[in-house]
Chain A
Amino acid sequence: MSDIGKVRLRLPSTIKVGDVVQVRCLIIHPMERIERDKAGKIIDKKYNYINKVVVTYLGKTVSTFDTTQSVSENPYFAFTLKATDPGTVTVTFHDTLGGKYEGTAQIAFG
């Protein structure tokens, strides 16, 4: 799909100070799997898949995930964090071909 790297982030619609909120995100990415030739031999090439996900909140890295090819195409990630201050949550996806894709969401208290 031509949309490679599109990221969508979602937070609960209302957040109160101190809430543990679930952040959900989806990235459009092919997450290439091992391919084999007709003889069953693994084709040697640089496979494109996301191998690192970094979460920052209020400018600080709060979590990193190391991911492998076992993660599906167009993967969905969800995690929780404690909403202490209003600010930006950024999720950055890095793939093996050097691609860097970012999605952001604003934590605001209503």
Chain B
Amino acid sequence: MRRPTRWLAVALLVAGCTVAADAPDYSRVPRWTTRAIPEARGEIRPEAGGRRVAVRYPGWPTTDYEKFRTYAYDDFRPEPTVSRATAPTGITGDPKTGRALFLNRQKGPCTGCHLVPGDDVWPAGSVGPDLSTIGDRKLPDGYLYQQLWDPRVVFPLTVMPPWGLQGVFTPEELVHLVAYLQTLHGPAAPEKDRDRNPFTRAKPVGFGDNLDPTNNPGVVRAEDAEALWKEGGPAGKACADCHAGGAATAMRGVATKYPRHLPAWGRVMSIEDFLAVHAPATTGRALPVESADNVSLTMLVKMASNGLPVAVDVSSPEARAALARGRASFVRRVGERNHACADCHTPEQGANKFLGGRYLADATSGLTRHFPTWRTSVNDAWDLRRRFQWCMTPLGMNMLAADSVEYAELELYLTQFDNGKPVSVPGIRH
């Protein structure tokens, strides 16, 4: 009697595992023509002289990273092959040059993840090991060189980029860096400032009540959209004409279900994506993704769900297929630095540690339910898509259109971690 029961349990377990690990299927990915503002489409503009310039938001870098892998579902380039290397001969490393390279913000900076001695090391991060006394370990120069060139030879799952292989540092620069690391000996000098050291630094405390209009300018911005809600578009209709009772009543609970798969459009859409197609179809008003009106109206719609638990669909076949692709994007290594979202935003890797002075958020704790959020550093409200696009730019990768299917499915994957937790829009963050 016991044997069949045990087999049944094993069979159920196997079936359960299969469900949990849906393989991503890219054969039926919907095609999409972007409805975003020109700065948010991820376009590349060729200039006179053959130079190619990436079109991004005002003030953002315009470097074209076409050499590097992106999140696009039709980008089939593989991750860079693991590469062995030995230091070039005939160069003597200079520790002083190496230290300057270690701190150079145009390069790594290595200090973004690693602590080293010096009051000018500010702010150092804690994603990687503290290197303050690495020289005491008497590691061979060749080993350190390989670690900097491509650490995956020794640590296949490392979050450290293959700096040499990707061309961020030249072989000569790596020799200087190795020479510098070999000079770092203990005992470490006593710490003068606990905030210099990311392992003892105080955690950020946030910005107080995000729903208080005297505290969060985002709330004032969202109230702008009340006028938009009532104002008729070129077709003569306003949102208020079909959705009776005011935005707060008519939209109550709507945002908890987004992003969701919409059969009419054959794809997963966030509120922002949907407004960009729904507003022109009904009111005649263009509401392109990443326009100020789109973000403001999204905030207004989401505020109507404040306090209600997020409840995105993760069970329909369409949602499961999108989730599988979103999850694959989350762990896909992309860009010049060969990073994945998971490198910085899962507790097993960088989450809840400092990247330079920035405290890395944990995606698995749910970090989408306060978007669009007010960013004190730029004095503007950003939705999750612009946050994605900004995340990816410093990583050396061309961004996709803000309303791309890839981003929508990644957003769905991130949002399911918020399921059951209350919506709180607009948030306020650095």
Interface residues, chain A, with chain B CB atoms under 8 Å away: 1-3, 6, 8-10, 24-26, 28, 73-74, 76
Which chain B positions have C-beta within 8 A of A74? Answer: 217, 379
B212 lies within 8 A of chain A by Cβ: yes
Indicate whether A1 sits within 8 Å of B221 (C-beta atoms), given known contacts A73-B379, A74-B379.
yes
B224 touches A3 (CB 8 A): yes
Which chain B positions have C-beta within 8 A of A9? Answer: 214
Q: How far is the CA of A3 from the CA of B217 in the complex (A)?
A: 10
Query: Contact partner of B214 among A1, A3, A76, CB < 8 A?
Result: A76
Q: How far is the CA of A2 from the CA of B204 in the complex (A)?
A: 31
Which chain B positions have C-beta within 8 A of A6? Answer: 220
Query: Contact partner of A8 among B220, B292, B380, CB < 8 A?
Result: B220
Which chain A positions have C-beta within 8 A of B220? Answer: 3, 6, 8, 26, 28
A76 touches B215 (CB 8 A): yes
Q: Which 7 A-B pairs have the closest CB atoms?
A: A8-B213, A26-B214, A24-B214, A74-B217, A10-B214, A8-B214, A6-B220
Query: Contact partner of A3 among B212, B215, B221, CB < 8 A?
Result: B221
Beta-carbon nearest neighbor of B380 in chain A: A1
Interface residue total, chain B, C-beta cutoff 8 A: 12
Beta-carbon nearest neighbor of A6 in chain B: B220
Q: Mark B203-221, 1 if CB is under 8 A from A, else 0.
A: 0000000001111010111
Q: How far is the CA of A8 from the CA of B220 in the complex (A)?
A: 8
Q: How far is the CA of A25 from the CA of B215 in the complex (A)?
A: 8
Which chain A positions have C-beta within 8 A of B212? Answer: 10, 24
Which chain B positions have C-beta within 8 A of A73? Answer: 379
Which chain A positions have C-beta within 8 A of B217? Answer: 26, 28, 74
Which chain A positions have C-beta within 8 A of B221? Answer: 1, 3, 28
Q: How far is the CA of A1 from the CA of B380 in the complex (A)?
A: 8
Q: How far is the CA of A4 from the CA of B379 in the complex (A)?
A: 13
Max chain B Cβ within 10 angstroms of own Cβ: one of A25, A74, A76: A74
Beta-carbon nearest neighbor of A74 in chain B: B217
Which chain A positions have C-beta within 8 A of B219? Answer: 8
B224 touches A26 (CB 8 A): no
Which chain B positions have C-beta within 8 A of A1? Answer: 221, 379-380
Which chain B positions have C-beta within 8 A of A3? Answer: 220-221, 224
Taking CB atoms and an 8 Å cut-off, the chain B residues in 332-383 that contact chain A are 379-380
Q: How far is the CA of A74 from the CA of B220 in the complex (A)?
A: 11
Taking CB atoms and an 8 Å cut-off, the chain B residues in 200-259 that contact chain A are 212-215, 217, 219-221, 224
